[in-house]
Amino acid sequence: MNGLVDMITKVNSAVNSFVWGIPMLIMLVGTGILMTVLTKFFQLSHIGHWWKNTIGGIFSDRHVTKHTDKNDKAISQFQSLCTALAATIGTGNIVGVASALIAGGPGAIFWMWVVAFFGMMTNYSENVLGIYYRRKNSKGEWCGGAMYYLKDGLGSRKGCKQIGAILAVLFSIFCLLASFGIGNMSQINSIALNMKAAFSIPTQVTGVVLMILAALVILGGLKRIASVTEKLVPFMAILYIIGTLVIFFANIGHVGAVFGAIFKGAFGLKAVGGGIVGSGVKMALTWGMKRGVFSNEAGLGSSVMVHSNSNVKEPARQGMWGIFEVFADTMVVCTLTAFSVLSSGLIDLETGAVLSDAADSALVGQAFATVFGSFGPMFIAVAILLFAFSTVLGWSHYGTKAWEYLFGTASTIAYRIVFIVIIFVGATMNLSLAWDLSDTFNGLMAMPNLIGVLCLSPLVMRITKNYVDRIIRKKTDVEPMLSVFPDINADHAE
C-alpha cells in the first residue's frame, strides 16, 4: 500500500510541476490581462456599476435576492453568489494563505493579489460565456459551464468541432476528479483534524456527523444547497472578518512593516527564508499564484456551473457577480488572513523565515492566539468547519454538473451518493496527498477552460460592449446579446 502511495506521489509531483510551470502561470494571468484589456479594464472603469449591481443590489434591488417559485428550477442571483462563494471561501483562505506564506514568504501575497485583480475578469468572462451558452436539461434546470462553451462555442469554429468536444469531456473528467479532492476529501480532512486538535473530537465522529449533514443538503438538489449557503456564507464570512479585523486593529501599528514586507518579498528586494533572491522571487510568485487560484478558483471554470443556474438574463450582469466573488474571496478574506499571520510575529518580516513549528491552519491559529489567547485556535477550528463544509456543498454541485455532462441527468443521484460516502473517507484517512492532487486537478481543469475563454474572448468583448451600450450608455438601437440560442434569446429579450 505504501509503495502505491509513493508511486502516486512521484507521478503526481511530476505532473504537478508540469501543470504549474511558468507557461501555465503565464497562461493563467495572461488570460486575465487579455480580458481586462478587451473589456477596457471593466473591473476598474465600471467599478461603481458592478458594485451597485452586486453587493449594493442586495439592499436596493429585490430581484437580486428574490427566490424563484417552486416550479422554477433556477436560483436567485444572491443564491448563486453564495453557493459560488461557499465553494471558493474555504480552507484556501486559511490553510492556503498560511502555506503560501510558509513556502513563498510575505511576497506571495502580492502575487496572490495580482492573480485576483486579473482573475476578476477571467471569472467575469467565464460567467458571461456560461450564461450565453447555457441550456435547460430534461428536468427544466439550467446547465452551463466550461464544457458547454467549449463544445458549442469553441466547437462552432471552423475546424474546431472535434477539439471543442474533446476539451469539454476532458474538463468534465478533471472537474469530477477535483470534486473528490479539492471539493471533498481535503476539505473534510482539514475539518476532522482541526476538530480533533481543538476539541478532542474523534475523526470518525466528525466524519459520520458531516456525512449525515451533507446528505440532508446535497440529496435535496441545488435549490436546497442554495437555500443553505445563502444563510451560511454571509454568517461565516462576517464572523471570520470580524475576528481578523480585531487582530488588524490590535496590530495596526504593524501595517507599514507588513505591507513593506509583502512588496519587498514580491520583487526580490530581500531574500526569502534566508535563500537567494532569485529563488525567493520564484517561490513567492509560484506559491502566490498557485494558492490564489486555489482560493478564488478564477480560471478553473468551476463557479460558472452554479452562476449559470441564476435567474438572471444578462450574461454581463452575472459576470459582475464573478468580479465581486474574486474580490471578496482574495482581496478581502485572504488579505485579512495574511495580515493576521504577518503581524503576529510568527514570521520574520525581514527574511520571511517562519519562527514557529506550526504549519498551515495551526499557524493561523497561533496568530489568532496572540490576540484571543487559547480561544484563537478554537475560533480557527470553527472557521475551518464552516468554510470547508460550505466548500463541500458548493463542489457537490460542480461535480454533479460534470457527471451530468458525461453520463446524463438521470444518473446524477449515483454521483451524489458516492460523494457523500467519500466524506467519511476524507475524515478518517491521512490525506496529505489529497492537497497535492487537488493542485494537479485544479491545473488540469484550468487548461481546457482557459483555452475556451481565450478562443471566445472576442465574443466576451462584444457581449460586454453590447451591455455597456444598452444598460450604461442607454442606447436604444442596440439588440441585446443574451444567448447563443435564438429561442432563449427571444424569450429573454421580451
Alpha-carbon distance 279 to 29, whole Å?
Answer: 20
Whole-angstrom CA distances from 385 to 36, 195, 372, 382, 464 are 35, 8, 19, 5, 38
Q: 299-351 pLDDT, tens per residue?
A: 888 888 888 888 888 999 989 988 988 898 888 888 999 999 999 888 888 77
Q: What's this model's pTM, rounded to 2 decimal places?
A: 0.86
Which residues touch 51 (CB under 8 Å, ≥6 apart)?
324
Task: Give the Cβ contact number of residue 359 at 10 Å.
Answer: 12
Q: Which sequence spans correspond to the domains of the chain?
A: 18-469
**pLDDT value at residue 214:** 92
What's the CA gap between 55 and 324, in Å, rounded? 8
CA dihedral 195, 199, 204, 205 (to 10 degrees): -110
3-state secondary structure of 282: helix
Q: Which CATH number fits domain 18-469: 2.60.120, 1.20.120, 1.20.1740, 1.10.3470?
A: 1.20.1740
Ranges in the chain, pLDDT < 70: 1-22, 60-75, 81, 84, 86-91, 268-296, 358-361, 430-439, 491-494
> Which pLDDT value is given to residue 437?
67
The DSSP line for 44-78 is HHTHHHHHHTTTTHHHH-HHHHPPPPTT---B-HH
* 239-279 confidence digits (pLDDT tens): 888 999 999 999 999 999 999 988 888 776 544 444 433 44
Separation in Å, CA 210 to CA 224, 357, 392, 409, 421: 16, 30, 10, 26, 10
Please say whether the beta carbons of 107 and 262 come within 8 A: yes
Closest by CA position to 304, among listed 412, 153, 428: 153
Q: Which residues does 17 contact at the CB level (< 8 Å), separation at least 6?
A: none
Residue type, 78: F
With H, G, I as helix, E, B as strand and everything else as coil, classify residue 347. strand
The H or E element containing residue 136 is: strand 135-136
Alpha-carbon distance of 267 to 273, in angstroms, equals 15
How far CA 157 is from CA of 32, 38, 143, 166, in Å, comes to 22, 20, 21, 14
Give me the pLDDT at residue 274, please. 41
The radius of gyration of the chain's CA atoms, rounded to the nearest angstrom, is 22
> Could you tell me which of 172, 134, 85 has the C-alpha nearest to residue 310?
134
Q: What residues have CB less than 8 Å from 26, skipping those under 6 apart?
A: none
201: left (phi over 0), alpha (psi -120 to 50) or beta: beta
CA dist 118 → 36, 331, 333, 392, 439 (Å): 7, 12, 17, 26, 20
Would you say 364 and 380 are in contact if contact means Cβ atoms under 8 Å apart?
A: yes
